[in-house]
Amino acid sequence: MAALWEDILHDEQLVQHVVPIAVDAALLEGVLMRTKENPNASDVVNYAPFTLLPSAVMRALFEQAYGVQQDFNLLVDTISQNAEFLEHTLANTIKVDDFTSQLFKIYKQVLKDGVTQSVFLGISRSDYMFDHHADGTSALKQIEINTIAASFGGLTSRTTAVHRQVLNVLGKSKEASNLLTNNPSKGIAKGIAKAWELYGSGSAVVMFLVEDTQRNIFDQRCIENELWNRNIQVIRRMFKDVFEKASLDNDKRLYMDGKEIAVVYYREGYVPKSYNKQNWEARLLLERSRAVKCPDIATQLAGTKKVQQELSQPGVLERLLPNKPEAVARIRETFTGLYSLDMVGTKSMVSAAVLDFLKPSTDCMLLGNNLYGEELKQVLEKIKNSPERTSYILMDKIKPQPAKNYLLRAHSPLKISECVSELGIFGVYVRQGTDLVMNKHVGHLLRTKAVEHADGGVAAGVAVLDTPYMI
């Protein structure tokens, strides 16, 4: 794969010529982020980081990732309806992890009060890497499935055009025409629109629940604008606003500033720092409402790493998806080794550090807390006799084959890097009662980072946006 653009990558003069063209193309296409210095202002913005050239992806693995997404949609929806499974799977985690415990308390309270929500919307992104084997073959292996606030569906919808322009300028028009059209923001908006329609109130609005710091606002605006184009009104609010101004009527309809809310689309609320006492109260109010939550709290719990680890155990998928052996086989083929530390003895736990990978069970959305190598061994030693260890999951380290590329970031020196990529597939489903009325894959996201970075996403400033080039 390293040889895909070899004629360009080592032509320094050509690279220097095309980089400013690529940056201008990104700005023209709206591949934008606000700056760290002014995260809530759009009068000074810059391009979101991206690769100079598309990265090679094996067509068979790409198609496999697309082919299994509807199975994962069904699986997540099934888990969200299975209170017994969630309670059993998360029993140890909620004893030692405050964040999961608080989510679970709200979940149990909603079940006790009676679920008033009748329409359910799932927007997820299943992330994979390509595990390269000694015999030269590669396999698709799932890192995680993001069931809340799956981002970059908007910006990646615009990145393909940038790479197409770059290839055209480089005289590779044939290769440019081979890049696949990709518009997750449109598919995500279709899912939200369907949920809004089924809610059944033409005057109701969609509420984006957002963070107080909004560097990635343009990614959200792509989806927002798709909804406005469908004449669906969108408002943007924070937890603080919900706590201060939201209310429920006698039928548990949710109101904000006098507007009835049909859909709450979470782009916030996925990490512990999102919450204080007031924000937890706001979350409970939202979950008690009739509004369609994306995700509802059960679906957020279904995306935890502890659930992912439990799914890898023999017979679990078969119990959750009875009479669907083909779906079970497709899902299981993407699994890598996942190990629960509450089942591993102290000595074997430390020796298991050779697996080189540790993830907190609640870290199912962000890739900011993975541990490798010596750091992993130190943490294992520290928690080996502590109940805290039950909140972690060991995962076999996936070893993708590196390829060379240029990672373009504002105000950063231009240099060629050894890189690895991560492929995400966006999935959308809508359920009304027990009827699954929509189940789709709606696009992809390719993120690429230099091999020296063990972890990190685009928003974290490590990975950059990319476009897959099929080989």
DSSP of 185-232, one letter per residue?
HHHHHHHHHHHHHHHT-TT-EEEEE--SS-TTHHHHHHHHHHHHHTT-
Contact assessment for residue 94 and residue 100, using Cβ atoms and an 8 Å cutoff: yes
Angle, CA 425 vertex, CA 186 and CA 162 arms, to 5°: 60
CA distance 317 to 336: 15
Does 276 count as an annotated binding residue?
A: no
CA distance 42 to 282: 28
| More confident call, 248 vs 370 | 248
Contact assessment for residue 242 and residue 212, using Cβ atoms and an 8 Å cutoff: no
Q: In terms of Cα–Cα distance, which of 331, 333, 403 is closest to 58?
A: 403
Does 294 count as an annotated binding residue?
A: no
Give the torsion sign (CA, 163, 168, 169, 171).
positive
pLDDT reading at 11 higher than 80: yes
CA 280 to chain centre: 22
pLDDT reading at 328 higher than 70: yes
Does 144 count as an annotated binding residue?
A: yes
Does 113 count as an annotated binding residue?
A: no
CA distance 120 to 302: 14
Does 214 count as an annotated binding residue?
A: yes
Is 390 in a helix, a strand, or coil? helix
Does 234 count as an annotated binding residue?
A: no
CA distance 221 to 209: 13
Write the CA distances from 143 to 117, 314, 395, integer angstroms: 31, 19, 9
Does 401 count as an annotated binding residue?
A: no
pLDDT reading at 385 higher than 70: no
Does 125 count as an annotated binding residue?
A: yes
Does 148 count as an annotated binding residue?
A: yes
Q: In terms of Cα–Cα distance, which of 26, 57, 15 is closest to 163?
A: 26
CA 326 to chain centre: 25
Does 461 count as an annotated binding residue?
A: no
Query: Which residues, in sequence order, are bridge partners of residue 340?
Result: 393
> What integer pLDDT is reported at residue 215 of this predicted model?
96
Domain ranges of the chain: 6-470
Arithmetic mean of pLDDT, 436-459: 87
Instruction: Give the model confidence (pLDDT) of 163-175 as tens digits.
Output: 999 999 999 999 9
> What integer pLDDT is reported at residue 333 of this predicted model?
98
Instruction: Give the model confidence (pLDDT) of 36-89 as tens digits.
Output: 999 999 999 999 999 999 999 999 999 999 999 999 999 999 999 999 999 999
Does 289 count as an annotated binding residue?
A: no
Does 449 count as an annotated binding residue?
A: yes
> What integer pLDDT is reported at residue 340 of this predicted model?
74
pLDDT reading at 337 higher than 90: no
CA 7 to chain centre: 34
Does 266 count as an annotated binding residue?
A: no
Both tokens of 334, joined, read 């993407």
Does 450 count as an annotated binding residue?
A: no
